[in-house]
Chain A
Amino acid sequence: MITAQIVVSGALMGLVYALVAYGFQLTYATSKSINFGQGELVMLSAFFSLTLLDWGVPYWLMVPGGLLFGVLLGLFVERAAVRLALEQKSEGWILLTIIVGLLGFSAAENIWGRDDRPFPTPISSDALHIFGVSITPVEISVAIGVFALMGLIELFKRKTLLGKAFEAVSADREAAELMGISATRTVMLSYGLSGLVAAMAGILVSPITTVGPTMASALILKAFSVAVVAGLDSGFGVVIVGIFLGSLESLTSFYIGSGWREAPGLILLILALAARPNGVFGKAGIRKV
């Protein structure tokens, strides 16, 4: 029974990894780039949302405010760290996104302090017992939030004109440009969406983990693992891998020691890269010359 409990709470955490990993997929689809400082986006959005609450903004208004902040951060990352490298067809964005992330981290340390702070939420954290496993409404809200946001973005991609432009650039950047779609704007859109996803992850996870500058540094490593193990173009594959990894690490943490909880994700990532560089659910590309 205790194992089931651990697996369920691990899996719920895994959904947050999946959500952040989904944010990587969005930008990877349009530009083959990801934000190495995405963890800082999660953290900064969480801090900003907390500040909104401190100012007395009601919870239902704080959520869109925090999400908007995430979008703006995502757009900033695209402008400052990604666009130039993409124009030069270089991989300079790896280093530049790390740098922008470091700047954000330092800013958070100095603006909000180095200590972890609780994140109030109107959702109850009194456990419900379902089949002998206790789940809190906060945890359920995480699951709902993750699926709702991913579903909405997928709907947006499929049903709206802008979303179709997004899909077109993902499929073939050059062809899309010839059809009059601006690839640069689409990449901006993907970074904005990715920032939105990061902010959502921050708002969802903060009531459970508390808010602090380092709140996302472990989370982001696992989101990387999930994205790479599933494949950066695997769609909903991240959900399955996220749930798997979340449960695996909480089992590790319980049975081996909490210091080792990061280990399975990291080992899994290195092994997955070695065995299937395109991910378990990814598509292998054909090399063309």
Chain B
Amino acid sequence: MINTQIMLIKRAIWYIVGLLLFYAPFALYQKALFGLVNYNKPADIHSLCLRMPLLNLLLGKWSLIVPVVMITLFLFFMFAIIFGPFFCGRLCFAGALPEYLSRLIPDRFKIDWVTGINPIPVRYGFLAGYLITPFLAGSIACAFCNLSFMQRLIDGGFWGEFGVLSSTNIITFFLWIILFGIFTKGGRGFCNFICPIGAVQSLVYSISSRLHFTYKLRFAKDKCISCGACVKACSMGSLQKEPDNSITYQIHNCITCLQCQAACPKNALTYGTGKSGWKDGITLVNNEPSIQESIR
């Protein structure tokens, strides 16, 4: 319990670092990078958006593809390959906000989407739709972006001026903070279902975690007592306890926040390099009898 609380505080500090790094008026990352490549543009979360660079790429406007975006893209993928969904698990303040807010609401008011709907086809379906949409109806990148709305909240001092909102902004806020946020178990429904950044990172992580040198959530089967503490702590619902007491792990929506590691009383879950320890490497089902059952 104490470990869980400490982990929550540690993560909150990381997310605040994320806020300082990427959001105006701080935007320390952008300012440092802009200084490095002598790029004279306003520094806020929009300056990292890939919408315009990808559009320029598709239209063949190579000269408009700025080094800032290329460097960011490179770092994003390198971190995802080596450390897993590092951005989601450590730095994404927009993802953390509804999670922490949802902790203030009693569980009986929250919907457990993940047990009813498999989030994996939904999040990859969204990613596929997100990539197809520009060719059919125009990009939805800005219209439904929670990171952009986060910048609005910061600009307006959280309780102040949100600026002029469009219908899509209002829908985004409702889904991100209200329906899939504070009224969702774990508070990360938006991350689970409709975040293209998270989906790309998960895709990369699901492949890179097969490599020995990369960091991943590891499982020590011999230490697990199937107590379910990790399942309760997992805000993404990527760990589930099956009726046969086995613990299943879905790597495609794990953000390696390591809240499960802190909650595990037997240190059966750790984050590090080497073998993952989950059955089948990626399908990741621990359906062997637990120690508790063996003792019985």
User: Do these two chains really belong together in a complex?
Assistant: no
- B residues contacting A by CB (< 8 A) are none
